[in-house]
Amino acid sequence: MTVRNEAFIDLEMSLTARLFNAWEKSAGESLQLIAQKADAGDFDEAYKMVKSLDLGDTAKSNIKIIRLIGMSAILFGAVEFGKSTSTSFSKKKPPKMLNVAVDTFIKTMSGSATDNIRVRALVLLNQEEARRKARIIQKAEGTDFTKSFVSFMKKAGVTEFNITSSLHSSRLSSWGYTIEAEATGVTRYRISEVLDNRICPICTTMHGKEFNISSAKKLVEERLSVEDPMDLKTIAPFPKQDKESVALFGKMNDDQLLAAGHIMPPFHPRCRGLLRKGKTEVNVETGEVTSREPTDDAFDQTLEGLLPGLPPIIAPVSAGRATSVADELAKLLIRKPTTDRGINNLANIGPVVVTAEAVPINVLAVDATLGEILGNIPDG
């Protein structure tokens, strides 16, 4: 079956929302103190305090949710071929690749993401100090530097969580897809992008292209297993988006795209592309590519038939409105699984039955976004 691209995006955003809420709580006071020191003219102390900013701490304290969303992403890729209970991941411990990916996530947040945050803070402080020395502005009651500094830094944190969460989920989804494809004998896949006014030229070019599963599996495993996340900038650079580069990219044939490593999403941070069943297949012995029966791309917005197990959950919403995969996943997250057993219980979520006069359950409105729901879940 096919899961909507939008539902997968909700999954990515849920991790961003959870991490940002945690970052805002843990770093909010530190950001205020740094800005206040600068506002008082004590820039030396403000510079020293920047070293206390660490996105890695936020990631480590939320490792359970990172693992849960990671496993969910793997299942999102695998369920293209059927129910989660019939995939190669059913009734097994979470795959080792999940541990590898989570470790890379933590390293990224502790390394380059934290460096980026600290650099941004130092630049803002340096600019403010330069203004003061040049007497462009004077310290006075009512200055808004503290407010602007804290606001900017919080947004900078969102950016780092956004990028890392997106890449984490996208690559794990692709890995889950390739594992299940091999298990079911599927040899080719096609790239499916969201064709709207937000799509970039690179994704427009790649939409519908087909490649061999074996090539994608090898590529994504290399990227997920990288020892130093910083190496990804060298071994897996994103295609450039300037006019000249886009024109050259559009002229590349499939062999050239494979050689450059540009055969699967993500093609940039927040890429919305997913892998779908190909309309061709390849003979693994001869390499001959032939046509196959067209795939059914009918979208299924609920988990009915995808993650069966529990009795249907009745939820209050307008009659006829379908609930999404993300909404259903939220119900699992609210149970706050604390072990791998909780991750395996992803296969036990029941479908939502939408009625006009349903009784509220846990005062949860299913039309709330997954990000909003996650933001209200305490650590534990």
The residue with greater pLDDT, 235 or 177, is 177
Quick one: what percent of the chain has pLDDT higher than 90?
31
- Banded model confidence at residue 4, pLDDT cuts 50, 70, 90: low
For the entire predicted model, the pTM comes to: 0.73
- Banded model confidence at residue 312, pLDDT cuts 50, 70, 90: very low
- Neighbouring C-beta atoms of residue 66, cutoff 10 Å: 24
Per-residue pLDDT tens digits for 341-373: 433 443 333 333 333 333 222 222 222 333 333
Question: Which of 62-71, 137-146, 147-156, 295-304 comes out lowest in average pLDDT?
Answer: 295-304
Q: Which residue has tokens 């009795």? A: 311
The reported pLDDT for the residue numbered 291 is 76
**Boundaries of every domain in the chain:** 5-291, 313-374
The residue with greater pLDDT, 5 or 181, is 181
Q: What is the DSSP string of 108-170?
A: HIIIIIHHHHHHHHHHHHHHHHHHHHTTSS---TT--HHHHHHHHHHHHHHHHHHHHHHHHHH
φ, ψ for residue 282, nearest 5 deg: -120, 140
Q: What is the DSSP string of 46-111?
A: HHHHGGG--HHHHHHHTHHHHHHHHHHHHHHHHGGGS-GGGSTTTTSPPPHHHHHHHHHHHHHIII
The reported pLDDT for the residue numbered 5 is 59
Per-residue pLDDT tens digits for 111-126: 999 999 999 999 999 9
The reported pLDDT for the residue numbered 85 is 67
- Banded model confidence at residue 54, pLDDT cuts 50, 70, 90: very high
Q: Do residues 303 and 325 touch, judged by C-beta distance below 8 A?
A: yes
The reported pLDDT for the residue numbered 203 is 92
Q: List Cβ<8 Å contacts ≥24 apart for 15-18.
A: 15/65, 15/66, 15/69, 15/161, 15/165, 15/168, 15/169, 16/158, 16/161, 16/162, 16/165, 16/166, 16/371, 17/370, 17/371, 17/372, 17/374, 17/375, 18/62, 18/65, 18/371, 18/374, 18/375, 18/377
The reported pLDDT for the residue numbered 284 is 66
